[in-house]
Amino acid sequence: MNTINRGLIFGIGLFASFGFSLNANAAPNSQKLGISQSQLQQFNIDQTLSSEAYPQGVPTNYGWGGHPWMHAGNNVPSSFTAITGWAQIMWAQGITSSNDYVQIQNFKTLICTVSNGAHSWSLLQQGDIDGSEFDSDYVNNVNTPPPYFLQITNSGLATIGIDTGNKAFHYWYKQGRVLLPSTNICGTLSVLQARTVTKASGGTAPGGNGAYVISVGGDYWLNTMAAWNQNTTNTSIDIGRFKLITGQWQWFGVSTASDTDLLNLYQYGYTTSTSTSTSTSTSTSANTSANTSANTSASTSTSTSTSIPTKKYIRIKTIY
């Protein structure tokens, strides 16, 4: 199945609605996400809105370029056992070059589960990324190293440059996919912070507004090690709204949780460990499909230096 067909087969799903009472107390080992209540709710509002700017080079018949797409949502396909969050950065339509890089940090994927009627959140993924530069239509999964990539090992902070033209930097967690919990799911949430920084400053000074857009998404997978196979081993959870990146740190994300569950997360936080969500993959094998249409296997050379080199490549090998 080619990418254009995959772009057409997505169906719009509806958020599941659950009635329940908020937990009276946070779990002993819970942590707060550090995102305001209004920003968390905005992730759900974003699901109803058009893209802030159309991503350059994405065919209009794909659907997800102009507005968010909900696909599987909270309905995990039978026999699927793994999950990952991912994101993609593209040029805003009409703009194909900039004097800025994009920086990202605090990339996290969380899940809301139901046990004995109680809803609670846990952290599944966070930290460093792997990724590659694709054509923004993802046809034939053509991908190459980005012209610029710097990641300080174990910092969760990455600085990215994109080639001119119809290009996308698509990325996922270096830690790999993780196992889904065995309990019922009441929501997923993937979030990150992004900003632009000037190339001339070496990536330290705030950049301009309006050149880049970013979208956050997620996939369910058959298991933690399955190779991509024409979308039979993975399915999209959702593809978030494309929003403009500015020179100030901002939160971006995508949610399949109810407003009430997001309020629960804001008030009581999340736990950082569960027995069902540990990663079984220690390699840098690709753990997402680009908009459910592209997948790579990658190894990356990271840097512990705070200086930004002229170029830093990810080594890419396709797996199909």
Task: Note the pLDDT tens digit of each residue in 274-308.
Answer: 434 444 433 333 334 444 433 332 223 333 333 33
Task: Give the bridge partners for 267, in sequence order.
Answer: none
Count of Cβ atoms closer than 10 Å to residue 55 Cβ: 24
Task: Note the pLDDT tens digit of each residue in 118-149.
Answer: 999 999 999 999 999 999 999 988 999 999 99
Over 60: is that where the pLDDT of 12 sits?
A: no
Residues contacting 306, CB < 8 A, separation 6+: 152
> pLDDT category, 273, cuts 50, 70, 90?
low
pLDDT at residue 256 in the model: 98
The helix/strand/coil state of 314 is strand
Q: What average pLDDT does this structure show over 205-209?
A: 96
Element containing residue 260 per DSSP (H, E) = helix 259-268
Over 80: is that where the pLDDT of 15 sits?
A: no
Count of Cβ atoms closer than 10 Å to residue 250 Cβ: 15
**How far is residue 281's CA from residue 130's CA, in Å, rounded to a whole number?**
14
DSSP string, 125-187: EES-EEEEEEETT-GGG-EE--SEEEEBTTS--EEEE--SSSEEEEEEETT--EEPPSSEEEE
pLDDT at residue 27 in the model: 67
pLDDT at residue 317 in the model: 26
The mean pLDDT value of the chain amounts to 82
Over 80: is that where the pLDDT of 79 sits?
A: yes
Over 90: is that where the pLDDT of 318 sits?
A: no
Residues above pLDDT 70, as percent of the chain: 76
Which one is predicted more confidently, 23 or 36? Answer: 36
Backbone φ and ψ for 135, nearest 5 degrees, come out as -65, 145
Take residue 177 and report the two structure tokens written for it: 């996919």
Residues above pLDDT 90, as percent of the chain: 70
Which one is predicted more confidently, 23 or 223? Answer: 223
Task: Note the pLDDT tens digit of each residue in 212-271.
Answer: 999 999 999 999 999 988 789 999 999 999 999 999 999 999 999 999 999 999 999 999
pLDDT at residue 1 in the model: 31
Are 150 and 158 in contact, with CB atoms under 8 Å apart? Answer: yes
pLDDT at residue 53 in the model: 98
Over 80: is that where the pLDDT of 78 sits?
A: yes
pLDDT at residue 202 in the model: 85
pLDDT at residue 96 in the model: 78
